[in-house]
A and B are shown apart, each in its own frame.
Chain A
Amino acid sequence: MPEIITLADIKPLIGNLSRANYYEVKFGGLTAGLRQYLSARNVDGQFIGSDAGLMCYNASLPGSSLAKVEGSNFTGVVENFAHTRIFTPIQLEFYCDNEYKVLKFLEHWQEYITSGNGNGANYSSPYYNYRAKYPNDPADGYKANSTRIMKFENDYKRVMEYSFIGMFPLDMSSTPVRYGPNSELTRISCSFAYDRFIAGSIYSFDFVQGNFNNLSGIINDLTSGNASALLRRFTN
């Protein structure tokens, strides 16, 4: 027997749906070596930490899948067992500014990854060959460890945050340019690989407050007026 639901019952739920156009991308966690490399090409820290994310007009919240194995211990029944979480690359699309900083940011980040042989005077030599930089070297590794995508609503009260570990630009699509209407913008598309992501904040500040990984911590206790939970937080 289905449950009888009135419009009034579902209004709080259906009337508060999330809007896709409220989100923020923030690049972060680039190593000193990588920042220096980009800075020398006029892509400064302010641009990386703030503007590059704002220029991202089309993002997607990351997805993942689970690898599984099948078991057939019971005749005619196939059981599924999950064992490994697989993180798929994320696609981000950017408007290009007229200083081409977005283009330089992505282009030279990729270039940096294969700049193990340096890129001095011999860079344009026909005999130049590529070697990779180390990915996780603390000083000059090419992976970034705290890039975030935040999904929120127009009241800014609730945030769904994704933090990426070991991110780097994997596949930068060729950027189309052509004669056409004057209003047509240059758009850049790039997919980013990463080791894994974490749903929810991973900042130590949030960890202390119990708000990391989407846990309902001290702030939720305060805003919801849950005094007993708040008291437990300080007495336990």
Chain B
Amino acid sequence: MSKILKYPLQRIESISDYLKINVVTYEAPGLGSSGAGGGFFQLPQGSQVNGPGATDRIIGTIFLPIPEGLSDLNRANWAGSNLNSLAGAAVNTIKDVGKDLSLDNLQKDLAGTLNAAGSTLAGAASKAIAGLDDKTRAVVSGAFVGSAVNLFGANVSLNDLTARTDGVILNPNLELLFKGVDLRDFTFSFELTPRSRAESQEIKSIINTFKRRMAPKTSISNASGGSKGIFIQSPDVFNIEFRRGGAKHPFLFSMKTCALTNIQVDYAGTGAYTTYEDSTPVKMRMSLSFRELNPIYAEDYSDDLSDGVGF
């Protein structure tokens, strides 16, 4: 049976909002499978938190109040990308050449295939240049002039030349393009003010649990483990959920399984070191930084808003 820790000890009722953190044994994602189900890696969905069966791996549960300064930040990596017309034409030409240079063709007739590729390249280049008007052709020829001049260390770009001679540069066709996914970070801060001896013990256990569970383990317990000292095992991970009473919070955001990357505790929260009779500080401030193990995908969201704003 997993252990339950709670702060504050009182005031978590059916009308209370609070944060529930399940401490879960980490399960390595593995290398996936290339079976009929899809790609090499299966993209983890919202319900799949650090592998199936995560609920069976719950070591303990910590209930905390809603943290101060609550916010989430979802990111998508987009960046500007250039592709001018000449480069675009070159891409198309090289794609044609690529068709000639297939592995089958090269195996059958190496010399013939290379000749054919060369012819395709020359033909495509001639076709591309022939399709240009006089002005553009003059600019393109300037590019080759620039390349020739660079042989003498001039360090002149095509745009430098065309800007000097004709007052134009190549249209870069700048466009914002998607570059990849990112992992979300969360930092939660809690004021801890023990009200009784029992609550003091609970706070001590909560801090101890976070510190212990975020630490890597030197004793390898799983099947892939080797001799002690050769490997260290991943720390435990955390399933975090905002709740209201016995249900998921109807508004706040959801999180996928997170790793705890930082814990900071200020034991002199009053501004000076002041304690209760058993040396428990009167006020502490605990700051937890989590990072999600998996990125967020559109499929993680549902149309049902009863579970809040989503991830």
A interface vs B, CB < 8 Å?
116-117, 131-138, 141
Contacts and interface: CB of A to CB of B under 8 A. Distances in A.
Interface stretch (B112-120, B192-200, B252-260): B192-200
Contacts of A137: 195-198
A132 B196 contact: no
Interface of B: 194-200, 274-277, 279, 282
11 contacts: A131-B276, A131-B277, A131-B279, A134-B196, A134-B197, A135-B195, A135-B196, A136-B195, A136-B196, A136-B199, A137-B196
Contacts of B274: 131-132
Contacts of A133: 276-277
Nearest to A118: B277
A141 B279 CA distance: 16
Contacts of A116: 275-277
A213 to B, nearest CB: 16
Contacts of A117: 277
A132 B282 contact: yes
Kindly name the residue among B199, B277, B282 whose own CB sees the greatest number of chain A CB atoms within 10 A.
Answer: B277
A133 to B, nearest CB: 6
B195 A132 contact: no
Question: Shortest 8 CB-CB distances between A and B: which pairs?
Answer: A116-B277, A136-B195, A137-B196, A134-B196, A136-B196, A131-B277, A131-B275, A132-B276
Contacts of A135: 195-196
B11 to A, nearest CB: 11
A194 to B, nearest CB: 14
Given A137-B198, A141-B196, 19 more contacts: A116-B275, A116-B276, A131-B274, A131-B275, A131-B276, A132-B274, A132-B275, A132-B276, A132-B282, A134-B194, A134-B196, A134-B197, A134-B276, A134-B277, A135-B196, A136-B195, A136-B199, A137-B195, A137-B196
Contacts of A131: 274-277, 279
Contacts of B199: 136
Nearest to B194: A134
B200 A134 contact: yes
A170 to B, nearest CB: 15
A141 B10 CA distance: 15
Nearest to B274: A132
Contacts of A136: 195-196, 199
A138 B195 CA distance: 10
A134 B195 contact: yes
A132 B272 CA distance: 14
Contacts of A132: 274-277, 282
A116 B274 CA distance: 11
B103 to A, nearest CB: 63
B65 to A, nearest CB: 15
Nearest to B193: A135
Which of A132, A133, A138 is packed against the most chain B CB atoms within 10 Å?
A132
A135 B197 CA distance: 10
Contacts of B276: 116, 131-134
Contacts of B200: 134
Nearest to A116: B277
A135 B196 CA distance: 7
Contacts of A134: 194-197, 200, 276-277
A136 B194 CA distance: 9
A159 B1 CA distance: 52
Contacts of B279: 131
A18 to B, nearest CB: 35
A138 B196 CA distance: 8
